[in-house]
Amino acid sequence: MHPIFSDVSRLRTFILLWVPTGAAIGTLPFWRTGGPLDQAWVLVLWGEVLAMPALATWHVTRFVPIRAGRGRVLVTAAIVSLAAAGVWVGAGRLWTQVMAETAPQPAALFGSLAPDAFAAATLVCLLLSAVHYALNEADEGLAAARRVLEAQVAAREAELRALRAQVNPHFLFNCLHSISALTGVDPGAARRMALELAEFFRDSLRAGSQSRIPLADEVALVRRYLDIERVRFGDRLGITVTLQPGVEAVRVPPLLLQPLAENAVRHGISTLVNGGDVSIAIARNGHDVRVRVDNPFDADDRRPGTGVGLANVRSRLAASYGDRAHLCAGAEGNCFTVTLTLPCEEVQA
Amino acid sequence: MTRLRVAIVDDEEPARLVLREYLAEEPGVEIVAECANGFEAVKAVADLAPDLLILDVQMPKLDGFEVLELVGRETSVIFATAFDEFALRAFDVHAVDYLLKPFSKPRFQEALERARERLQAAPPSSPGADAPASARLSPAELAAAARPAGTRPSRIVIRDGADVHVVPIDRVDYVEAQDDYVGIHTGGTVLLKEQTLAALAATLDPRRFVRIHRSFVLNLDRLAKLENRGKETRTAVLRDGRQLPVSRTGYARLQELL
């Protein structure tokens, strides 16, 4: 959309300014010769019509944006301005000849005064090109700011969703039930669990308020989560977490791995009478970090999961890394595996 | 006051712990079994015939609803769950007693008292009179109400004494009505379940399972061809060669789907 027509107030300003400008451009060269002005309306009309080729220069200049370089922009603007002025002068010659019977003066003088009109029209077109560029820049700035804002809102929403998932009511109520149960028989264990739970939520909230946290912190959070679940599941839940030295400082979106651990417990270990191991292995793989979560599950127990957890992780990956990160999930026999590949973003010193 | 014989069913040790603690202080209550999964619960009901089950909803192997479906006629049930919006809605709709974890001792005593009253009014196994809630409602209906809208069970649970068979729906070839039972045919074996054919058919996906006859519901995947034997008599031939009769309305239903 043409930057002047895209906005009503800009269009109003342009028309207000253009009406006297057009009239002046058409008639000025003829004033200098002192000709009779009673036939000037022919020239006023002609001057106003310059608006059309002048505005049309935008259609060419928009293909050569400012970032293409000052030289190319200037050359392009000059060529289109000259062309627009030429078209206008040519149209003026035809117009004055057509109107020669009612207004002989402009037709007679046109030849000698056309060069001045041409120069003035070129100048006006150049000015208008400058206005086009200025307006385009302003529009693009606004659009860029809006995109940044939208990205921020999306990231915030993803974090809120993650936090909401964090405070999974099922997890919270079961933990409170365990604490209530332990209070009677093992007050020390009840207190330990209450403290663990508090630490877990505190860490989650703190992590959630940041855009990236060190992988080591995320892994600590996951460990804490699994330790709490171990109180509920006892020996049914085995935990193996291996973090390759050297990847601790890689920055990741907070609460990215925790939902995977939670899925492994909810849809894996809790479906098995004898439980099993949740295994989390994190290692560098070229320029990427690879996270692999394995858990056994009951393949015969086909109560469907909602898939919300994985979808959530996927959308957070997309929001944080675009297509530089991947998530694969699938079952093989009685083992469910999720593999996460993230680009290495080290802490900046 | 008669002794109340209770079985505790929960896969989490702390959850069993608190029930044990609360029950220990109740007069006239005996804990006859502690079960960590649905299979153990069904076995405990078969072997020990408790008066009351305190039943967790989410468990491995069989969930609380499936346990209820298998033993609901023989025992009274109090459900216990931490958070499950669908289950809670189902409990409310069907007036089933339930405990929300964590629950207080007074709340637990209240539920226990109500169960005792129900049992004194009419023990579950005795027919007629004012039946208790767990026998009044159909376990299948309750389980259906506890599922998210539009979803269907992915398996059929069948009890054979103290044993439990779990049959994934897509392994069912066809189901045959046999008086008060249905025979579930799967890979050459037949499992009997105490349910009417209409009630079972209502839980199955109507696009995959068709009532081809008053006594037969067929898994469409198993159908090889339809044979025409004289007027009005048609036979469905299954992939394994077995033949089932097709009634006129059954044929109309098949035509609609094929």
Residues A228, A321, single domain; the answer is: yes
Partners of B100 on chain A (C-beta within 8 Å) are 173
Q: What percent of chain B has pLDDT over 90?
A: 48
The answer as to whether A209 is a domain residue is yes
Task: Note whether A177 contacts B82, CB cutoff 8 Å.
Answer: yes
Q: Residue A304 and residue B154: Cβ atoms within 8 Å?
A: yes
Q: A8-17, pLDDT tens digit by residue? A: 888 999 999 9
Residue A113 contacts residue A93 (beta carbons within 8 Å): no
Q: Determine, for residues B100 and A302 on separate chains, whether the beta-carbon distance falls below 8 Å.
A: no
Question: Does residue B206 sit at the A interface (CB-CB below 8 Å)?
Answer: no
Could you write out the DSSP letters of every residue in A260-279? Answer: HHHHIIIIIGGG-SS-EEEE
Residue-level pLDDT at A347: 59
A212 and A75 together in one domain: no
Domain boundary among A151, A178, A195: A151
Residues A117 and A13 in one domain: yes
Q: Assess whether pLDDT exceeds 80 at residue A291.
A: yes
DSSP A186-226: -HHHHHHHHHHHHHHHHHHHHHHTSS-EEHHHHHHHHHHHH
User: Is B4-145's fold the same as B165-257's?
Assistant: no
Domain co-membership, A140 together with A181: no
- The pLDDT assigned to A238 comes to 96
Q: Does B151 touch chain A (CB under 8 A)?
A: yes
The arithmetic mean of pLDDT across residues B14-18, rounded, is 93
Does A37 score more than 70 pLDDT?
no
Contacts of A273 in chain B (CB under 8 A): 11, 36-37, 39, 60-61
| A303 within a domain of the structure (yes/no) | yes
Nearest CA in chain B to A272: B60
Residue B124 has pLDDT above 70, yes or no: no
Q: Which amino acid does the sequence have at A119?
A: A
**B chain contacts of residue A191, beta-carbon cutoff 8 Å:** none
Locate the chain B residue with the closest alpha carbon to A297. Answer: B60
Domain B4-145, architecture per CATH = 3-Layer(aba) Sandwich (3.40)
- Angle (nearest 5°) at CA B36 between B30 and B39: 100
Which of B15, B21, B154 lies closest to A177 in CB terms? B15
Mutual orientation of helices A104-166 and A51-61 as an angle, nearest 10°? 40
Secondary structure letter of residue A68 according to DSSP: G
Task: Give me the pLDDT at residue B129, please.
Answer: 40
| CA A113 to the chain's CA centroid | 54
Residues A109, A21 share a domain:
yes
Question: Residue B93 has what pLDDT?
Answer: 75
Q: Do residue A177 and residue A263 come from a single domain?
A: yes
Q: Sign of dihedral through CA atoms A217, A219, A220, A225? A: positive
Cα(B123)–Cα(B43) distance, rounded to whole angstroms?
20
Q: Pick from B92, B94, B99: which is nearest to B78 by CA?
A: B99
How close does chain B come to A234, measured CA to CA in Å?
Answer: 7
Q: List CB contacts (< 8 A) between B37 and chain A.
A: 273
Q: CA of B19: which chain A residue's CA is closest?
A: A181
**What span, in angstroms and rounded, lies between the C-alpha atoms of A143 and A141?**
5
Q: Establish if A157 belongs to a structural domain.
A: no
Q: Examine the domain organization and report whether A90 and A220 are in the same domain.
A: no
Is residue A25 in some structural domain?
yes
Q: What's the pLDDT score for residue A349? A: 43
Among the partner-chain residues A170, A178, A298, the one whose CB lies closest to the CB of B83 is: A170
CB contacts of A272 in chain B (<8 Å) are: 60
pLDDT at A279 over 90: yes
Among chain B residues, the shortest Cα distance to A275 is held by B60
Name the nearest CA neighbour of B45 among B58, B62, B26, B28. B62
Nearest to A78, CA basis, from A122, A17, A39, A13: A122
Q: How far is CA B188 from CA B17, B163, B173, in A?
A: 44, 19, 9
Asked if A172 and A108 sit in the same domain, the reply is no
For the segment B154-203, what is each residue's pLDDT rounded down to a tens digit?
889 998 888 889 898 989 999 999 988 999 999 889 999 988 898 888 88
Q: Map residue B50 onto helix, strand or coil.
A: coil
Picking from A274, A278, A280, the residue whose alpha carbon sits closest to that of residue A236 is A274
**pLDDT higher than 50, residue B135:** no
Q: What's the whole-number average pLDDT of chain B?
A: 86
For residue A172, tell me if it sits in a domain.
yes
Mean pLDDT value across residues B36-62: 91
Q: What is the tally of structural domains in chain A?
A: 2
Which of B74-88, B115-129, B234-248 tops mean pLDDT?
Answer: B234-248
Where is average pLDDT lowest: A164-173, B132-141, B143-152, B178-187? B132-141
Domain regions of chain B by residue span: 4-145, 165-257
H or E segment to which residue A164 belongs: helix A104-166
| Closest CA–CA distance from residue A212 to any residue of chain B (Å) | 31
| Local confidence band at B20 (pLDDT 50, 70, 90 cut-offs) | very high
- CATH classification at residue A236: 3.30.565.10
Average pLDDT over residues A302-313: 70
Nearest CA in chain B to A306: B148
For residue B101, pLDDT over 70 is answered with yes
Q: Which residue of A has its CA nearest to B100?
A: A173
* DSSP per-residue letters across A55-66: HHHHHHHTTS-G
Same domain (yes/no): A75, A142: yes
A158 in any annotated domain = no
Residue range B223-236: average pLDDT? 85
Are the beta carbons of B17 and A179 separated by less than 8 Å? no
Task: Count how many pairs of residues, chain A against chain B, have C-beta atoms within 8 Å.
Answer: 76
The tokens for A14 are: 């342009």
Domain membership flag for residue A1: no
User: What residues of chain B, 62 to 91, have a C-beta less than 8 Å from chain A?
Assistant: 63, 82-84
Query: How far separated are the first and last CA of chain A, in Å rounded?
Result: 45
pLDDT at B56 over 50: yes
* Residue B244 Cα distances to A321, B170, B250, angstroms: 58, 19, 11
Domain-ending residue, one of A122, A151, A180: A151
Residue A290 and residue A341 in contact, taking contact as beta carbons nearer than 8 Å: yes
Q: How far is B29 from chain A (nearest CA, A)?
A: 19
Nearest residue in chain B measured CA to CA from A183: B18
Q: How far is CA B172 from the centre of its chain?
A: 17
Which of A174, A191, A228, A295 to probe by mutation at the B interface, max B CB count within 10 Å?
A174
Of A174, A232, A298, the CB nearest to B60: A298
pLDDT of residue A223: 94
CATH topology of domain B165-257: OB fold (Dihydrolipoamide Acetyltransferase, E2P) (2.40.50)
Q: What is the mean pLDDT of chain A?
A: 86
Answer yes or no: do A302 and B168 touch at CB < 8 A.
yes
CA B191/CA B165 separation, integer angstroms: 8
Tokens 């069912």 sit on residue: B172
The pLDDT of residue B1: 60
Verify cis geometry, omega within 30 degrees of 0, for the bond prior to B127. no
Q: Is the pLDDT of residue A176 over 90?
A: yes
Smallest Cβ–Cβ distance between A176 and the set B37, B58, B102 belongs to B102
| Option in B12, B37, B84 nearest A273 (CB) | B37
Domain that holds residue A171: 167-343
* Interval A206-235: pLDDT, tens: 887 788 899 999 999 999 999 999 999 999
Pick from B14, B37, B84: which is nearest to A181 by CB?
B14
Test A272 with B168 for CB contact under 8 angstroms: no
Closest CA to A181 of A198, A168, A194: A194
Q: Which of A151, A179, A205 is the last residue of a domain?
A: A151
Are B41 and B16 contacting, i.e. CB atoms less than 8 angstroms apart? no
Q: With CB atoms and an 8 Å threshold, state whether B12 touches A273.
A: no
